[in-house]
Structure 1
Amino acid sequence: MGILRLPVMVEDGSWVLANIFIDEGSDSTLMRSAFAKALRLRGPPQFLTVDGAVGVITRYRSKRIQFRVQAADEKFLSLEGSTMKKVASPTPVTDWHKEKAQWSHLASLPLGETGGGVDILVGLDHAHLIAVIQSRVGAEKEPIASKTAFGWIVRGFVEGRIGCISPENKRALEIVQEKTKRLEVGYEVPIIWREGEPNLDSNRQMAENRFRSQLSRFRRQPEFEKDYRAAVEKYLDQGYASHVPDPASARYFLAHHGVYKGKKLRVVYDAAAAFKGKCLNDAIISGPALQPSLAAVITRFREGEIAWASDIEAMFNRFRLSSEDLRCILEDAGVPENVIQAVKERMYIDDYLGSASSVAEVVEEAVAVKNALSSSDLNLQGWISNSSDFLRAVSRTEPATDPASSHPLTGEGTERVLGIVWDPKADLLGFKVDKMLDSAFSRADLVIKVASVFDQLGTASPFIVKAKIRLRVLGLKGLGWTDLIAGDDEIWWRNWFLSLEQLNTLKMPRCLFPDRVKISMVELHAFGDASEEA
């Protein structure tokens, strides 16, 4: 990461340190809104337009500001930029003053500690300030240093510290490790508040407005009300929620609404609902992502001939755990290290799936994991597999369940495993794409529809990328976010959506290595082709 820590001038002439991120991939300079407020900087209001992934355009309320930075050589640099709530993710903290001694090409440079939350992002609108004046390059895989108008910037990592995390995420892990408690049944985990939180204004007025809207929908849709009340009663009956003794004393309310998933209604809690510019999520540290990547979990699911999947019943209503917490639970239960490693690699949030060469190889592991989690009130349920022997072995350790109630897609012979459509009987993977042809399309409609095609492993990329290229062309033509497409563009998109439905006929074997005992050597061949469009 190209990041420095330099003084920035406050409105009264004093100076405060800021983490400044040099980003040659951005065409704009941005300052974190809270930091600009702390500097007491003023500027005209504006709407900031950000062009994101797959053509998604978002508009933010912003201010145009001017500020001064003191470079490492003590020269003053004048910059101009826009405010934004968050300009970049936190970066790992590294004290280059201590670390530089490891490399002769860095040892003499005036370097200090860098990293943490990013306050300012400097883009190409100040290209003259971020241009490289001088470079220091070492051996292969060693950090490099670049001198700019701001000072020396080091890019690279310190050996053995690839997993280093930001101070905020470090604090989040410390809170979880310190305050997580083992109860008689299950675990109690803390809310990971930011420094100085909770400091939330009473949002009762907003909550009452949302509640009135909910009651209005109940009157229009009696069946929706019936399902909603049943869902809330279930939370109360199973102890996931309780009545507030004195609602008049409550200051902050968490709004909620109902969403159908198939025929089942789920109550969704809206922690992102802002009141006076602040929401509950703003006061909580999200923490680092500790679960394995989704692609890695799905790939392991495809390795062996025997595959299985299961999920934890109502996990998010009991408490929230990271994959690291699940590892601790297994250690508490005295589970062997190989089983703990399997969970770390095969569990994604509340889904547990994998594959192996034989039933005997996996039954012991699956039962051990199930029993360990069950002892902490986390019950794996709804087992599916391409092996009836595996299902029989697992079912001996749990009460009989109705497969149709656990898996709504069973009637079609397919299941969704982390978004992937799987036919366990035929052991084939495929797609399930809904019809998307409408009477008219806006640019926003097209972005949503293209993004809705779940293709985590990139199987359909040659087809999907054509739509993403076409979306960019619409933007280059100046088509507005809500403008309807017409003419040749409309014809192209209608043909593309008709072709998209053919993905429903695409089937491919789940198992990558059938008859593994007969395989003597495996080679991975990668092919890349540069494109001016993609």
Structure 2
Amino acid sequence: MSQYNMDFNEKTLEEEHEMSMEDKRFIEIMERSTCKQNGHYCLDLPFNKDDIIMPNNRCIVEQRIQNLKRKFEKNKAYKEEYTAFVTDWIDKGYAEVVPHDQLEPKDGGVWYLPHHGVYHPKKRTLRVVFDCGASYKGTSLNHQLLQGPDLTNSLFGVLTRFREEKIALMTDIKAMFHQVKVSEKHVNFLRFLWWPSGDTSASLTEYRMTVHIFGAVSSPSCANYALRKTAADHAHSYNKQAIDTVYNNFYVDDCLKSVATEQEAVKLVAHLIELCSTGGFQLLKWTSNSRAVLLSIPVEKRSKPTRELYLEQDSLPVEKALGLSWSAENDTFSFELALEGKPHTRRGILSMVSSIYDP
């Protein structure tokens, strides 16, 4: 039973009758602050105490962005990718210029976030992330935020349930964290410095994120709360299978589900897309081991490998499923190993083995 609870940790959570005081406070903040704005859920930042007061750390963030400017001067391609990423935030409304009349907020009511670029190890695409753990005068944003209860289903459980039935479905939520808005009273704790249009010869401008962000310790729980809230608020409008899928078949932003028949799958896809959209969540990158199901999904909503297929005769592609390689054509899982050369010593052998299998 202990091994079962370890592999399927959501069952362990169901058996717990008492949450910690911090988790109770997190849930209370979510329930008290939740509202809808333009079709998206809006939540407070879950601070660990009321009337939070933060030191003004702008000087530290100014130093960090000057370091970024020097990096831009050395690498033009990096600057272009970085600027495009931040511009996309602004264009989509995830970030905004701080209004002139709010540039001087009340004492303790502002926090600036340093940011930097991180490349995906395989795709080599750039993502700009905030350093919410950056400390100033003994505190940081993450130090003041509640992490919240673990609302994520176990990876092992989601993968196991994925292949219970004949017809498999996979999808994910586009920019999940950014679909959950931050309440107006807390957006000034998510300020950052940037140059308009990425022009480093211009003066720095103060921006602020209007959504929950990568790097904040609270964001996974906030996003999961909003997704589950979507299902709870519409439980009487959609069938039980769609509601249960939201609760049991998502691992953060990835959904893996299986059903018995193609007709059932086509119906579930339509219901899930509509249900999640009521909470502002857009389901994209759909794939399946059924050609009939794929044909029922608009091309722009399918995964990139399946968009280019001639489904009448081409073999279905190999897709990533929570870190594993899943062949939709053969319905088999496999591992892709990229082993680094290690010295032929006990330490080297142990290092290589541990990179493949983590007990």
Answer whether TM exceeds 0.5 for this pair: yes
Q: What residue in structure 2 maps to residue 256 of structure 1?
A: 115
More helix by percentage: 2
TM-fit CA distance, 1:494: 4.9
Give the Cα–Cα distance (whole angstroms) in 1 for the partners of residues 43 and 62 of structure 2.
Answer: 29
> Which of the numbers 328, 350, 353 marks the counterpart of 2:256?
353
> Which of the numbers 307, 310, 327 marks the counterpart of 2:171?
310
TM-fit CA distance, 1:165: 0.3
Q: What residue in structure 1 maps to residue 82 of structure 2?
A: 228
In structure 2, do the counterparts of structure 1 residues 200 and 303 end up closer, same or farther at CA, with 3 Å as the change threshold?
A: same
TM-fit CA distance, 1:177: 1.1
The aligned length equals 291
Give the Cα–Cα distance (whole angstroms) in 2 for the partners of residues 194 and 497 of structure 1.
Answer: 39
TM-fit CA distance, 1:237: 0.6
> Which of the numbers 173, 177, 182 marks the counterpart of 2:31?
177
CA contact (8 A) 1:324 1:344 kept: no
Q: What residue in structure 1 maps to residue 192 of structure 2?
A: none
SS in 2 for 1:249: coil
Unaligned 5+ residue runs, structure 1? 1-156, 441-489, 504-533
Root mean square deviation, CA, Å: 3.1
SS in 1 for 2:56: coil
CA contact (8 A) 1:168 1:287 kept: yes
TM-fit CA distance, 1:300: 0.6
Give the Cα–Cα distance (whole angstroms) in 2 for the partners of residues 323 and 359 of structure 1.
Answer: 29
CA contact (8 A) 1:228 1:258 kept: yes
- Tell me which amino acid in the other structure corresponds to 1:266: R
> Which of the numbers 308, 325, 331 marks the counterpart of 1:427?
331
Give the Cα–Cα distance (whole angstroms) in 2 for the partners of residues 206 and 420 of structure 1.
Answer: 41
Give the Cα–Cα distance (whole angstroms) in 1 for the partners of residues 179 and 266 of structure 2.
Answer: 27
More strand by percentage: 1
SS in 2 for 1:435: coil
Give the Cα–Cα distance (whole angstroms) in 2 for the partners of residues 314 and 342 of structure 1.
Answer: 19
Larger RCO: Structure 1 or Structure 2 (Cα < 8 Å, ≥ 6 residues apart)? 2
TM-fit CA distance, 1:335: 1.7
Q: What residue in structure 1 maps to residue 340 of structure 2?
A: 436
In structure 2, do the counterparts of structure 1 residues 496 and 393 end up closer, same or farther at CA, with 3 Å as the change threshold?
A: same
Q: How does 1:291-370 map to 2 (within 5 A)?
A: 291-319=152-180, 321-333=222-234, 334-370=237-273
- Tell me which amino acid in the other structure corresponds to 1:422: W
Q: What residue in structure 1 maps to residue 278 of structure 2?
A: 375
Q: Which has the larger radius of gyration?
A: 1
Give the Cα–Cα distance (whole angstroms) in 1 for the partners of residues 353 and 146 of structure 2.
Answer: 43
Is 2:149 the counterpart of 1:288?
yes
- Tell me which amino acid in the other structure corresponds to 1:249: E
> Which of the numbers 55, 68, 93 marks the counterpart of 1:239?
93
Q: What residue in structure 1 maps to residue 72 of structure 2?
A: 218
SS in 2 for 1:242: strand
- Tell me which amino acid in the other structure corresponds to 1:279: S
TM-score normalised by structure 2 residue count: 0.72
Q: How does 1:30-41 map to 2 (within 5 A)?
A: none
> Which of the numbers 194, 217, 221 marks the counterpart of 2:48?
194
Give the Cα–Cα distance (whole angstroms) in 2 for the partners of residues 180 and 432 of structure 1.
Answer: 42
Give the Cα–Cα distance (whole angstroms) in 2 for the partners of residues 172 and 494 of structure 1.
Answer: 44
- Tell me which amino acid in the other structure corresponds to 2:291: S
Per-residue Cα deviation, 1:319-366 (whole angstroms, up to 9, x for no partner): 254444323313433222332122111012211111223222322222
SS in 1 for 2:276: helix
TM-fit CA distance, 1:195: 1.4
Per-residue Cα deviation, 1:232-288 (whole angstroms, up to 9, x for no partner): 000011111101234863642011111122132111111111112211011111111
Give the Cα–Cα distance (whole angstroms) in 1 for the partners of residues 152 and 17 of structure 2.
Answer: 13
TM-fit CA distance, 1:496: 6.3
Per-residue Cα deviation, 1:401-454 (whole angstroms, up to 9, x for no partner): 6725999xxx9943222222222222221112223116x7xxxxxxxxxxxxxx
In structure 2, do the counterparts of structure 1 residues 324 and 249 end up closer, same or farther at CA, with 3 Å as the change threshold?
A: closer
% identical equivalent positions? 28
Give the Cα–Cα distance (whole angstroms) in 1 for the partners of residues 279 and 323 of structure 2.
Answer: 27
CA contact (8 A) 2:316 2:328 kept: no
SS in 2 for 1:390: helix
TM-score normalised by structure 1 residue count: 0.50
In structure 2, do the counterparts of structure 1 residues 248 and 274 end up closer, same or farther at CA, with 3 Å as the change threshold?
A: same
Give the Cα–Cα distance (whole angstroms) in 1 for the partners of residues 164 and 254 of structure 2.
Answer: 17
SS in 2 for 1:188: strand
Structure 1 runs of 4+ aligned residues shifted over 6 Å read 496-501
TM-fit CA distance, 1:199: 2.0
